[in-house]
């Protein structure tokens, strides 16, 4: 038979149908195991694609009290699991050795207690957290359930980064609050510590306000202000001492006042409901100029009507500003595009004109070669013609033959014809060098001076010919 001490040991065996990954935590009465659901058919192997779940497994075997507690929590969560800020229940049952368990949504980012151990929250973050958990509490209270154990370790951070209210293990109906089932002293309301009630909507709001105070200060209100040495001294501080002043100059007075009222020792001075507390935080957000967190609860507007109309007006004005800015930017882009288009068209036109001008210019290889004027005299590949006068049988003394072209190599004296009025013995006067045409020889006459006639011409004497 298993003893009570043995049944209180941490359990490492997951329920049937779940594969153990690791142990992730536990409390006084239960352990929390990270498990992977197994497929319905064992031969199919582990469901590697299934999301891990948190299995809350009782350390005690199923006696009447333990079984009733787990059944109640399962029933509460089943009624509330549709709310986005309440941890979702995925299943429940009893292990082979008689331990009840709950399969819950796994929150991979830990709890608010883990975050508070390394940092404090800004006023805007604190108000956002308060509105979201107020929506979860409002949903629970309207269903007839009080949580009675709100504390940082029971506010988890889901995979989406949003808070989840968890651990309804000591939750009870609103009308069963006279039964005390346990509490956490740093977060419990004075009337709960004094034993006047087991929990109520007002005590739930007190606990939530104590958590928000701690998010700003780093510790629960009376631990922050008085640093008690033990739990008994802490209880006396909660019951007898005034609420410590929050030494955060960046905290708006409206937020400090809302927390002060909700942490009042008199439940009557606290907000009437979680809805009223959430509205106070939303108005504070509006006064700070930060985005207003919507309140999520069935049948309740996300924000007050006045704030909703103002938000709609602000949103409309913001959209109009964005539209005007977009239109101005479009006009600017259009004019800039027009200028660029005109420049591009001008450049294209200039390129076309330049191309046509280039095509119209004569090319060097298309200029016709000038006519070559042949110099008088014999050619290289042609024999020198011998022009003779036609014979006249009636003329007894035929004239000697006269060459048609002067001899370029030199003119013999006996071949030079005589002028009509000149005696053979009279020499031909020699021209001065200045009378010679450019080029210095007979070949240049026809090339550079086309006015000089071709054919037989009077040649200078042999003394005037340059060698």
User: What is the 3-class SS of the chain, one letter each residue?
Assistant: CCCHHHHCCCCCCCCCCEEEEEEEEECCCEEEEEEEECCCCHHHCCCCCCCCEEEEEECCCCCHHHHHHHHHHHHHHHHHCCCCCECCEEEEEECCCCCEEEEEECCCCCEHHHHHCCCCCCHHHHHHHHHHHHHHHHHHHHHCEECCCCCHHHEEECCCCCEEECCCCCCEEHHHCCCCCCCCHHHCCHHHHCCCCCCCHHHHHHHHHHHHHHHHHCCCHHHHHHCCCCHHHHHHHHHHCCCCCCCCCCCCHHHHHHHHHHCCCCHHHCCCCHHHHHHHHHHHHHHHCCCCCCCCCCCCCCCCHHHHHHHHHHHHHHHHHHHHHHHHHHHHHHHHHHHHHHHHHHHHHHHHHHHHHHHHCCCHHHCCCCCCCCCCCCCCCCCCCCCCCCCCCCCCCCCCCCCCCCCCCCCCHHHCCCCCCCCCCCCCCCCCHHHCCCCCCCCHHHHHCCCCCCCCCCCCCHHHCCC
Establish whether 56 is an annotated binding residue. yes
Binding residues: 56
Binding residues for ATP: 56
């Amino acid at each position: 038979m298993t003893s009570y001490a043995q049944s209180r040991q941490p359990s490492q065996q997951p329920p049937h149908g779940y594969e153990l990954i690791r142990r992730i935590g536990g409390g006084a009465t239960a352990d929390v195991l990270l498990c992977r659901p197994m497929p319905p058919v064992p031969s199919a192997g582990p469901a590697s694609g299934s999301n891990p779940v948190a299995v809350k497994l009782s350390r005690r075997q199923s006696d009447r009290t333990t079984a009733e507690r787990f059944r109640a929590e399962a029933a509460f969560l089943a009624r509330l699991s549709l709310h986005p800020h309440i941890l979702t229940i995925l299943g429940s049952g009893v292990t082979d050795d008689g331990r009840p368990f709950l399969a819950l949504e796994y929150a991979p980012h830990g709890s608010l207690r883990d975050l508070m151990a390394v940092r404090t929250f800004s006023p805007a973050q604190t108000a956002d957290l308060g509105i979201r958990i107020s929506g979860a509490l409002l949903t629970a209270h309207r269903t007839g359930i009080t949580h009675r154990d709100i504390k940082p370790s029971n506010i988890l951070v889901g995979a989406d980064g949003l808070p989840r209210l968890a651990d309804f293990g000591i939750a009870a109906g609103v009308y069963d609050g006279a039964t005390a089932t346990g509490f956490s002293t740093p977060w419990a309301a004075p009337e709960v510590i004094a034993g006047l009630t087991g929990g109520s909507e007002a005590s739930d709001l007190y606990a939530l306000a104590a958590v928000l105070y701690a998010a700003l200060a780093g510790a629960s209100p009376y631990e922050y202000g008085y640093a008690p040495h033990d739990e008994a001294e802490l209880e006396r501080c909660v019951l007898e001492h005034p609420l410590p002043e929050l030494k955060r100059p960046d905290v708006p007075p409206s937020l400090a006042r809302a927390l002060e009222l909700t942490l009042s020792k008199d439940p009557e001075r606290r907000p009437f409901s979680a809805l009223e507390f959430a509205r106070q935080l939303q108005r504070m957000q509006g006064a700070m100029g930060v985005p207003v967190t919507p309140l999520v609860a069935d049948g309740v507007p996300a924000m007050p009507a006045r704030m909703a109309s103002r938000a709609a007006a602000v949103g409309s004005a913001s959209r109009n500003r964005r539209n005007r800015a977009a239109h101005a930017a479009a006009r600017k882009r259009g004019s800039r595009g027009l200028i660029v288009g005109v420049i591009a068209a001008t450049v294209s036109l200039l390129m076309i004109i330049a191309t046509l001008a280039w095509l119209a210019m004569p090319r060097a290889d298309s200029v016709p070669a000038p006519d070559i004027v042949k110099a008088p005299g014999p050619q290289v590949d042609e024999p020198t013609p011998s022009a003779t006068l036609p014979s006249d049988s009636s003329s007894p003394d035929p004239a000697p033959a006269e060459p048609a072209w002067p001899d370029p190599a030199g003119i013999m004296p006996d071949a030079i014809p005589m002028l009509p009025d000149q005696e053979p013995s009279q020499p031909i006067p020699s021209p001065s060098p200045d009378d010679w045409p450019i080029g210095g020889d007979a070949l240049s006459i026809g090339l550079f001076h086309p006015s000089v006639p071709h054919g037989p011409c009077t040649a200078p004497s042999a003394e005037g010919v340059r060698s």
